């Protein structure tokens, strides 16, 4: 597989820059010189947005990028500059966006925002508090992911969203919670041009999901200039944007290029400025050559893991799950499948010593211990099972699956590998019928209790609890941590549910992934964000050296 890609990449790289641009239909100058593009940023990606509306059931990660740049939120996060000159968001710091200021009530049960009086939507309509309310009402009403995300900080009813006057908006909460501000700074909390959207609503589609999914109804720093689904999306700077400093780039061209080799060749030739979507092998090689800037940021609140469905025998037996955890070839997965692009989440202490998440589990490769545990569980000769992964993630999941298959064979467990088409993955995930699977999950909000609420909580039992794991003791600890204000009690609850997760091991932690990005040497001010997509507003192009 890798050799085939290498030969293909070599052929493409040998093409002249003009020929390469012509093949891809790139509307760029006749030179590969990035400086010739000036204030146009060219991004190459594996797939584009499935819809322009993050509230839609079909929204994908690229839709999040649209939401972040085309729409405003009331507030956003501050940033911190790292030693290498890049930036990361600061999850503890909040800054104004549509709201000039805000005030948390003394009892912690409401927050009031003062909106900018001069903010307008892209069609020139003033942004008012009624737009904020309609947008929040919509997120709660459409159900699915938007409603669950809003509900994470107990925003569940339109009655909680109050228009005080045209430029004053209040959110009421049933009780204080630490996620009040963080959950208002996520892509879901976008503000829509309500009158424009309502003019395209129908009885069957009262929230205009279809129209907003195909059109721009935002007030953000960029407008959608054009969108060709499956091909490219082009953004134009909104020069009347009032919610922050004017961005450097006047135009963003995000081109969908399915071929890994072609995306890499475009970067190396200078015909593209930036890409996330390359395999770890390519990022590792590009980092070694030094011809491009490669930034790998450990993804906070994220874990690559193997789930075992505790309702499907023999994974209903904790000793079997522990045996599998001791038979995983962790070092090979990190070194061979991921080329070292991540942090090890194995070989940690027996008991949690911090509230950090993710943190290494106590498991490491020990085949003798794995065999002994299988024998204790009543499976001295092993058993047969299936390991499933999303085929759209095969670049890393396939080598991981093969390594796991080979290692488990050594303890008598025969593994059949199943690939599920990407379009069907979440349907299968929601059915909770797969005995074992490889997946990763990234929580937007960097709190361990929030992560566990999405993935381990048996009451919530979301689609991301593919283990089908229900443990009342853990559920109580998660619920306690979510609303605990005493630091010592909070730490006790968090360490408690992490300890249970490691002892019961329905999920085997493997690696904390890197969010890798490769970009031209002249691209500066890249910022790592919790939502893992680009913030175009902060990127710049350094002037060419004389």
On whether both 21 and 38 belong to a single domain, the answer is yes
Residues 465 and 402 in one domain: yes
Whether the predicted pLDDT of 13 surpasses 70: no
Tell me, yes or no, whether 31 and 48 share the same domain.
yes
Q: Do 269 and 153 lie in a common domain?
A: no
| Residue 34: per-residue pLDDT | 60
Give the mean pLDDT of 61-67.
95
Would residue 207 count as lying in a domain?
no
pLDDT(7) > 70? no
Average pLDDT over residues 340-367: 96
Residue 425 lies in a domain: yes
Average pLDDT, the chain: 92
477: in domain: yes
Residue 8 has pLDDT above 60, yes or no: no
Cα 220 → chain centroid: 21
pLDDT value, residue 33: 57
DSSP codes of every residue in 427-477: HHHHHT--SEEEEEEE-SS--HHHHHHHHT-TTT--TT-TT----HHHHHH
* 313 and 263, same domain (yes or no): no
Looking at residue 366, its pLDDT comes to: 98
Model confidence pLDDT, tens digit, residues 431-457: 999 999 999 999 999 999 999 999 999
Strands (DSSP E) found in 17-174 = 40-45, 75-81, 87-96, 99-104, 110-115, 161-165, 168-172
The residues, any chain, with a CB within 8 Å of residue 396's CB and separated by 6 or more, are 279, 280, 337, 338
Indicate the pLDDT class of residue 12, thresholds 50, 70 and 90: very low
pLDDT exceeds 50 at position 369? yes
Evaluate whether residue 397 is within a structural domain: yes
> Residue 423 has what pLDDT?
80
Cα 87 to Cα 524: distance, rounded to the nearest angstrom: 10
Number of domains in the chain: 3
Task: Please check whether residue 80 lies inside any domain of the structure.
Answer: no
pLDDT value at position 17? 42
Mean pLDDT of 476-505: 96
Assess whether pLDDT exceeds 80 at residue 149.
yes
Domain boundary among 202, 228, 253: 202
| Segment holding 236, helix H or strand E | strand 232-237
- Burial status of residue 351 (CB atoms within 10 A of its CB: 0-12, 13-18, 19 or more): exposed
Separation between Cα atoms, residue 227 and residue 301, nearest integer Å: 32
pLDDT in tens, 383-442: 999 999 999 899 999 999 999 999 999 999 999 999 999 889 989 999 999 999 999 999
- ∠ CA 355-360-364, nearest 5°, is 150
Q: Identify the CATH number of the domain in which residue 147 sits.
A: 3.90.76.10
Q: Tens of pLDDT along 89-131?
A: 999 999 999 999 999 999 999 999 999 999 999 999 999 999 9
Residue 336's CATH number: 3.10.105.10
pTM: 0.88
Judge if 376 and 437 occupy the same domain. yes
Could you tell me if 360 and 498 are in contact, meaning their C-beta atoms sit under 8 angstroms apart? no
pLDDT at 73 over 60: yes
User: Cα–chain-centroid distance for residue 3?
Assistant: 30
Strand 87-96 and strand 75-81: pairing? Answer: antiparallel
Answer with the one of 157, 172, 202 that is the final residue of a domain.
Answer: 202
What local confidence, expressed as pLDDT, does residue 426 receive? 87
509 and 527 fall within a common domain: no
Q: Is the pLDDT of residue 28 over 80?
A: no
Residue-wise pLDDT for 187-230, tens only, equals: 999 999 999 999 999 999 999 999 999 999 999 999 999 999 99
Scanning the structure block, which residue is given the tokens 């709660």?
140
Going from the C-alpha of 356 to that of each of 81, 183, 302, 476, 494, the distances in angstroms are 22, 20, 11, 19, 9
Q: How confident is the model at residue 24 (pLDDT cuts 50, 70, 90)?
A: very low
Query: Is 344 within a domain?
Result: yes
Higher pLDDT, 480 or 1: 480
Residue 497 has pLDDT above 50, yes or no: yes
- Per-residue pLDDT for 22 more than 60? no
Predicted confidence at residue 422, as pLDDT, reads 85
Q: What is the pLDDT of residues 74-94, one digit of tens each?
A: 999 999 998 888 899 999 999
Using a pLDDT cut of 90, give the percent of the chain over it. Answer: 87
Domain shared by 422 and 345, yes or no:
yes
Residues 105 and 175 in one domain: yes
Q: What is the CATH number of the domain that holds 283?
A: 3.40.190.10
Supply φ then ψ for residue 269, to 5 degrees: -80, -15
Same domain, yes or no, for 29 and 61? yes
The CB density around residue 209, as the number of other CB atoms within 10 Å, is: 20
pLDDT tens per residue across span 451-474: 999 999 999 888 899 999 999 999
**Using CA atoms, how far apart are residues 321 and 438, in angstroms rounded to an integer?**
15
Q: Does position 31 have pLDDT exceeding 50, yes or no?
A: no
221 in a structural domain? yes
**Listed residues 152, 174, 202: the one ending a domain:** 202
Residues 278 and 266 in one domain: yes
Rounded Cα gap, residues 371 and 369, in angstroms = 5
Distance CA 326, CA 334 (A): 16
Cα distances (Å, whole numbers) of residue 431 to 427, 464, 467, 516: 6, 11, 11, 31
pLDDT band at 19 (very low <50, low <70, confident <90, very high): very low
Domain co-membership, 481 together with 388:
yes
Give the domain extent around 217.
Answer: 2-67+213-297+515-541
**76 occurs within a structural domain:** no
Q: Is the CB of residue 522 less than 8 Å from the CB of residue 270? A: no
């Amino acid at each position: 597989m890798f050799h085939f890609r290498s030969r293909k990449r070599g052929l493409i790289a040998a093409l002249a820059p003009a020929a390469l641009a012509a093949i891809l239909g790139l509307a760029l100058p006749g030179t590969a010189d990035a400086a010739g593009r000036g204030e146009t940023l060219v991004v190459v990606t594996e797939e584009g947005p499935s819809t322009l509306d993050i509230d839609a059931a079909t929204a994908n990660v690229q839709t999040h990028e649209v939401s972040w740049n085309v729409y405003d939120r009331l507030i956003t996060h501050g940033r911190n500059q790292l030693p290498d000159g890049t930036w990361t968001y600061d999850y503890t710091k909040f800054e104004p966006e549509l709201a000039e200021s805000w005030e948390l009530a003394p009892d912690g049960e409401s927050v009031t925002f003062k909106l900018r009086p001069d903010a307008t939507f892209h069609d020139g309509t003033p942004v008012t508090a009624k737009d904020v309310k309609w947008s929040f009402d919509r997120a709660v009403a459409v159900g699915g992911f938007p409603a669950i995300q809003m509900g994470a900080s107990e925003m569940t009813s339109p009655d909680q969203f109050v228009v005080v006057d045209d430029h004053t908006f209040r959110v009421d909460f049933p009780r204080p919670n630490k996620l009040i501000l963080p959950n208002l700074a996520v892509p879901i909390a976008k503000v829509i041009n309500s009158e424009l959207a309502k003019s395209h609503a129908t009885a069957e589609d009262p929230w205009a999901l279809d129209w907003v999914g195909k059109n721009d109804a935002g007030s953000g720093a960029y407008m959608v200039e054009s969108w060709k689904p499956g091909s490219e999306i082009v953004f134009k700077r909104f020069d009347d944007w009032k919610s922050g400093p004017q961005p450097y780039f006047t135009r963003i061209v995000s081109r969908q290029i399915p071929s890994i080799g072609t995306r890499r060749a475009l970067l190396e030739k200078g015909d593209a400025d930036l890409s996330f979507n390359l395999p770890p092998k390519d990022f590792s090689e590009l980092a070694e050559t030094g011809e491009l800037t490669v930034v790998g940021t450990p993804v906070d609140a994220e874990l690559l893991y193997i789930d075992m469905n505790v309702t499907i025998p023999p994974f209903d037996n904790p000793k079997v799950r522990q045996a599998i955890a001791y038979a995983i070839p962790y070092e090979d997965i990190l070194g061979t499948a991921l080329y070292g692009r991540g942090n090890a989440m194995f070989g940690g202490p027996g008991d949690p010593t911090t509230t950090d998440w993710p943190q290494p589990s106590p498991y490491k490769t020990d085949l003798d211990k794995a065999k002994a545990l299988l024998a204790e569980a009543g499976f001295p000769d092993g058993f047969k099972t299936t390991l499933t992964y999303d085929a759209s993630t095969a670049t890393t999941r396939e080598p991981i699956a093969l390594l796991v298959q080979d290692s488990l064979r050594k303890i008598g467990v025969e593994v059949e590998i199943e690939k599920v088409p990407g379009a069907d993955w979440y349907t299968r995930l929601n059915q909770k019928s797969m005995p074992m699977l490889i997946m990763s999950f990234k929580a937007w909000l960097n709190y361990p209790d929030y992560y566990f609420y999405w993935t381990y909580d048996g009451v919530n039992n979301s689609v991301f609890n593919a283990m089908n794991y229900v443990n009342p003791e853990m559920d109580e600890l998660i619920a306690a941590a979510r609303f605990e204000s005493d630091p010592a009690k909070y730490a006790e609850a968090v360490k408690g549910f992490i300890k249970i997760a490691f002892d019961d091991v329905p999920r085997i932690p493997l690696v904390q992934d890197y969010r890798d990005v490769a970009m031209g040497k002249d691209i500066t001010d890249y910022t790592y964000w919790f939502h893992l997509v680009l913030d175009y507003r902060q990127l710049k192009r350094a002037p060419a050296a004389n």
